[in-house]
Amino acid sequence: MMDPRILDRFRAIVGSDGLLTEPEQLRTYECDGLTNFRVLPSAVVLPTTTEQVQATVRVCHEAHIPFVARGSGTGLSGGALPIEHGIVISLARMVRILEVDIPNARVVVEPGVLNLSVTEAVAPAYFYAPDPSSQQVCSIGGNVAENSGGAHCLKYGFTTTHVLGLEVVLPDGSLVHLGGTTLDRPGYDLCGVFVGSEGTLGIATKVILRVVRRPALIQTLLAAFNSTNEAGAAVSGIIAAGVLPAAIEMMDNLAIQAAEAAVHANYPDCGGLLLVELDGPAAEVAALMTQVRAMCTSCGAWEIRVAQSEEERAAVWKGRKAAFAAMGRISPNYIVQDGVIPRTALPEVMSEIERLSREAGLRVANVFHAGDGNLHPLVLYDVRIAGQERRAERLAFSILELCVKAGGSITGEHGVGEEKKAFMPVMFAEPDLDTMQRVRCAFDPERLSNPTKVFPRPRLCAEKPGPYQPHPLEAAGIAQLF
């Protein structure tokens, strides 16, 4: 139970309707999209302005209360999982689009603005490129925290590629501006450091985004193969030929079955399905599509369709974007993983996943961003069967180990959060993690901002990091050295 005097202070900042304290209200915030971790926060504060965020954070700073910023709560790694005895600061009421500057392809938004709303604000000529599958409901603030990806980041880059500047409330309540509307602002690229820091460095209250001109032509090819290995060979061939598609997605048979059951995507029933999207000037797309088609055929594709119209494309993508949720149709429970491997390791990693799956006696469906080696193995299980959940967790983690061993990463776009922090040492040595935490100490020396996430062990920051001391031994005439 939180000190009522503290709650009064929060209430004075955001008003009664901006503060939630009743257990049944708090229940909504006890987890994010990763529902197997749950913690009830002491309170939820819903500010509507930067000043309110600052004032709230100042109270936390003074009273030493940890806080977790939360957008739409769709994260898949427990990044927005509350901290015990801490508060959640929900940015869901900061939803203004502050500026749309089409000639410069810039948009300035508050963090609660939904990903898809940015595209809607600049359509039809422009779009916001990062497109996580949850784009209809996830917020830009959450995307910034997680450095969200999506199918089209193969060509267009990730959230970090499209965030030019940030207004950030630091964990002591002070306000800083990182980056800006123009490129290359003098100073350290702390905007680049902040994006993907999973809420551990402060709270973004304003985000300057770059939007992208919609290409003249977009075509999506769907190709059916007998196996994911054949489909994978086609991917390698396409990339080796110097073609950079906007997206390359792959699904295995189990994932196809689930997508069919859920949204009737009308996919061919095959062992490995490939979606390849090309975009650009019409003549360029036409020339490259011929190459892609030939490559698929030579790798064993027995059915190829090319979606031309916007409706046909939407239909093709529908099954892919619904793939995670679709698992509910074929399994009562599932764990989504987010490993990355060098693309060339796909065949061996796939056969190893198959072996692990057999050993564990659990089914694994596979959905990949095949172009960049980002795997989303979905481990299917039934929580009602004793021991299955644990087996599923173990299997999911073995798959991650496999990814790291292959030279990859434990997370491509979902973040480390609560779920994978214990796995960070598999990927990074102690000095690597320690160096990252030194950066953290510069932002959040008191460890108040989402303090228990990302890192397996906290680093103790000096009580007060001293101000920068100019080197005492100043010498004249140094420039001559050059």
Partner 1 sequence: MDDVATLLRDASRDGQAVIPSGGGTKLDWGRPPRRADLVLSTARLDRVLEHAWADMTATVEAGCTVARLQHSLAEHGQRLACDPLWPERATIGGILATNDNGTLRARFGGLRDLIIGVTLVLADGTVAKSGGKVVKNVAGYDLPKLATGSFGTLAMITQAVFRLHPLPHETRTLTFAATRLEPLCELALAIQGSQLAFVSLQVRADGAAEPALDVRFEGTRAGLDSQQDELLRLAANLTRVDPPAAVWRIREELWQGTEPAVTGTFSVLPTELQALCAQLDEVGTAPALGWRVVAQGVGVGHFRLEGATSDALVAALQRLRAAAERRGGTLVVLVGPEDLKARLDVWGSPGDALPLFQRVKQQLDPQGTLSPGRFVGGL
Choose one: 249-257, 301-309, 322-330, 336-344; the region binding partner 1 (CB under 8 A). Answer: 336-344
From the list 144, 349, 370, 454, which residue makes contact with partner 1 (rule: CB under 8 A)? 454
Residues 282 and 274: their CA atoms lie apart, in Å, by 22
Residues 29 and 140: their CA atoms lie apart, in Å, by 18
Q: Which of residues 175-194 bind partner 1 (CB under 8 A)?
A: 175-178, 180-190, 192-193
Nearer to partner 1, 61 or 414 (CB): 414
Q: How far is CA 127 from the centre of its chain?
A: 18
Provide, rounded to whole angstroms, the least separation between the CB of residue 215 and partner 1: 6
Residues 59 and 352: their CA atoms lie apart, in Å, by 51
Strand-pairing partners, residue 219, are 278
Q: Can residue 124 be called a binding residue for partner 1 (CB under 8 A)? A: no
Three-state DSSP state, 171: coil
Residues 134 and 91: their CA atoms lie apart, in Å, by 17
Provide, rounded to whole angstroms, the least separation between the CB of residue 254 and partner 1: 23
Nearer to partner 1, 161 or 398 (CB): 161
Residues 8 and 30: their CA atoms lie apart, in Å, by 22
Whether residue 130 is preceded by a cis peptide bond, meaning omega within 30 degrees of 0, is: no
Cβ-proximal residues to 218 (8 Å cutoff; 6+ apart), any chain: 246, 277, 278, 279, 285, 313
Nearer to partner 1, 136 or 182 (CB): 182
Q: Can residue 197 be called a binding residue for partner 1 (CB under 8 A)? A: yes
Nearer to partner 1, 219 or 374 (CB): 374
Nearer to partner 1, 386 or 478 (CB): 478
Three-state DSSP state, 293: helix
Q: Is 293 exposed, middle or buried (0-12, 13-18, 19+ CB in 10 A)?
A: middle
Provide, rounded to whole angstroms, the least separation between the CB of residue 2 and partner 1: 30
Ramachandran area for residue 221 (φ above 0: left; ψ -120 to 50: alpha; else beta): beta
Nearer to partner 1, 41 or 75 (CB): 75
DSSP 8-class letter at 156? H
Q: Which of residues 216-255 bind partner 1 (CB under 8 A)?
A: 216, 236, 239-240, 242-244
Neighbours of 271 (CB within 10 A): 16
Q: Which of residues 56-75 bind partner 1 (CB under 8 A)?
A: none
Q: Which of residues 376-435 bind partner 1 (CB under 8 A)?
A: 407-416, 420, 424, 427-429, 431-435
Nearer to partner 1, 1 or 460 (CB): 460
From the list 225, 327, 443, 447, which residue makes contact with partner 1 (rule: CB under 8 A)? 443
- Count residues binding partner 1 (CB under 8 A): 105
Provide, rounded to whole angstroms, the least separation between the CB of residue 44 and partner 1: 26
From the list 103, 141, 204, 233, which residue makes contact with partner 1 (rule: CB under 8 A)? 103
Provide, rounded to whole angstroms, the least separation between the CB of residue 183 and partner 1: 5
Q: Can residue 90 be called a binding residue for partner 1 (CB under 8 A)? A: no
Provide, rounded to whole angstroms, the least separation between the CB of residue 387 and partner 1: 29
Biggest alpha carbon–alpha carbon distance for the chain: 76
Tell me how far apart the terminal alpha carbons of the chain are, to the nearest angstrom. 63
Q: How far is CA 205 from CA 8, 19, 70, 108, 316, in A?
A: 23, 18, 12, 11, 36
Provide, rounded to whole angstroms, the least separation between the CB of residue 324 and partner 1: 17
Q: Which of residues 259-298 bind partner 1 (CB under 8 A)?
A: 280-284, 286-288
